[in-house]
């Protein structure tokens, strides 16, 4: 069932009701044209919006914080339970990225109970992108600027009204609880939404084309095919290994367990984001390092996203959010790297085919 907001109600009233008794995270529009996730105890009309495009910080930070206190040595007490939360304005790139974290933290050898609790207690309300950024390229990695799955509730804005639907059992229940503010969406409204989604997708495909990327390109074959080429060293020339692309990435999940001493002098452990661009990332005791060269570390980031994850999860660990491009101090554009990989791989492949023909 798809809903719209009834004529006697409005968006703020609806969102306020959905957010009742939950900690609220929602995009706040900043003067510089970006959004940030702002927390409040209730939906804040005028401050909170649903956002036209994704906020600057990746959604992962709400589930896999940049620094997470794990525990004090020998302390087996319970952590304060996490509050019930609701996140509004989640864009599909971020929403889709959570599948990577679920794979890593829920479905592996062992389950991260903090992550599991954060997922359990967080209602995700996604929203269609209405105005993608110049750096966005989600169609090239098999995504689109609206959510298809993974949300509890999706809210799409059209000129003729909002279309609201649930994507989970708890989302359905929550919408039912707000039923007095909703009415069934008309076929005309749904048709308007479909057309809007098609044209926005087409626009993003067109934007990707100007960078030489199009939906369905085999980026795994490109990165694997270019693995031994000089392409990585070329880009690594400019890279300053600041790790911004790792940290800002909506799918990068690597971390280290940092041991130290807290203010009371007790040994404690913290889980901290780590970056594979850092020279010590693959270093072992005794001086060995699997990736001593910056070019190898730069390549590793692409290898992980476009070769490793397709092999273990049948998807790229990239949702085309373009944050790495925005964050790169050396102006390295991930689309340029991928396009070059496609070209290099094609060239090498053609050469080896010629060779075989001889």
Partner 1 sequence: MYPTLYMPVPATIERIEDETPDIKTFTIRPAEPIPFAAGQFVELAVPGIGEAPFTPSSSPQITDFMEITIMRTGRVTDYLHTMKVGDEVGVRGPMGRAYPMEAFQGREILVVGGGCGVGPLRSLLLEVIQDLKSYPRVIVRYGAKTPDSIVFRDAQTHGWGQDGAMDVMLTVDEASEGWDGHVGLITEILEEDYLDCHAEDGVAVMCGPPIMMTSGTEKLLARGYKPENIYLSMEKNMSCGIGQCGHCRMGVYYCCKDGPVFTYDEIQHDPRVWDD
CB of residue 292 to partner 1, shortest distance in Å: 9
CB of residue 189 to partner 1, shortest distance in Å: 43
Interface residues toward partner 1, by CB under 8 A: 70-71, 73-79, 104-105, 108-114, 227-228, 253-257, 259-261, 267-269, 271, 274, 276, 281-286, 288-291, 304, 308, 311-312
CB of residue 150 to partner 1, shortest distance in Å: 20
Q: Nearer to partner 1 by C-beta: 254 or 330?
A: 254
Contacts of 246 (CB under 8 A, 6+ apart): 252, 254, 273, 274, 275, 276, 277, 301
Q: Nearer to partner 1 by C-beta: 29 or 229?
A: 229
Q: Which residues of 114-142 are buried (b: 16+ CB within 10 A; e: fewer)?
A: bbeebbeebbbbbbbbbebbebbbbbbbb
Cβ neighbours of 353 (radius 10 Å): 9
Q: Nearer to partner 1 by C-beta: 134 or 228?
A: 228
CA dist., res. 226 & res. 347, Å (int): 9
Q: Nearer to partner 1 by C-beta: 81 or 216?
A: 81
CA dist., res. 342 & res. 354, Å (int): 18
| Closest listed residue to residue 165, CA positions, set 126, 211, 113, 223 | 126
Q: Nearer to partner 1 by C-beta: 119 or 269?
A: 269
Q: Nearer to partner 1 by C-beta: 261 or 350?
A: 261
Number of alpha helices (DSSP H) and beta strands (DSSP E) in the chain: 12, 11
Tokens of 145: 């600027």
CB of residue 291 to partner 1, shortest distance in Å: 7
Tokens of 25: 């995270």
Q: What string of DSSP letters covers 216-241?
A: T--HHHHHHHTTTSTHHHHHHTT---
CB of residue 197 to partner 1, shortest distance in Å: 35
CB of residue 273 to partner 1, shortest distance in Å: 10
């Amino acid at each position: 069932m798809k809903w719209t907001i009834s004529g006697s109600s409005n968006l703020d009233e609806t969102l306020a009701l959905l957010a009742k008794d939950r900690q609220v995270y929602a995009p706040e529009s900043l003067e510089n044209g970006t959004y940030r996730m702002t927390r409040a105890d209730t939906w804040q009309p005028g401050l909170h919006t649903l956002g036209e495009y994704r906020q600057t910080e990746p959604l992962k930070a709400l589930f896999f914080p940049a620094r997470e206190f794990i525990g004090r040595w020998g302390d087996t007490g319970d952590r304060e339970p996490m509050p019930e939360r609701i996140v509004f304005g989640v864009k599909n790139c971020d929403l889709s990225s959570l599948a990577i974290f679920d794979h890593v933290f829920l479905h592996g050898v062992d389950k991260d109970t903090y992550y599991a609790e954060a997922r359990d207690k967080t209602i995700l309300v996604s929203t269609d992108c209405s105005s993608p950024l110049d750096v966005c390229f989600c169609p090239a990695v098999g995504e689109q600027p609206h959510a298809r799955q993974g949300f509890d509730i999706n809210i799409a804005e059209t000129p003729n009204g909002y279309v609201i639907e649930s994507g989970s059992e708890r989302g359905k229940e929550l919408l039912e609880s707000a039923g007095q503010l909703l009415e069934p969406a008309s076929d005309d409204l749904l048709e308007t939404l479909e057309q809007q989604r098609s044209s926005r997708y087409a626009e993003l495909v067109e934007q990707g084309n100007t960078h030489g990327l199009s939906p369905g390109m085999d980026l795994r074959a490109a990165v694997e095919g270019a693995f031994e080429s000089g392409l990585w060293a070329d880009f690594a020339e400019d890279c300053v290994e600041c790790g911004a692309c790792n940290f800002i990435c909506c799918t990068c999940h690597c971390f280290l367990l940092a041991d130290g001493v807290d203010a009371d002098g007790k040994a404690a452990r913290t889980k901290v984001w780590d970056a594979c661009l850092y020279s010590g990332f693959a270093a072992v005791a005794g001086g060995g390092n699997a990736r001593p060269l910056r070019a190898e570390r730069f390549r590793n980031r692409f290898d992980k996203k476009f070769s490793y994850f397709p092999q273990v999860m049948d998807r790229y660990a990239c949702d085309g959010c373009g944050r790495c491009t925005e964050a790169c101090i050396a102006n390295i554009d991930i689309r340029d790297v991928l396009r070059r990989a496609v070209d290099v791989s094609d060239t090498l492949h053609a050469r080896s085919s010629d060779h075989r023909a001889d």
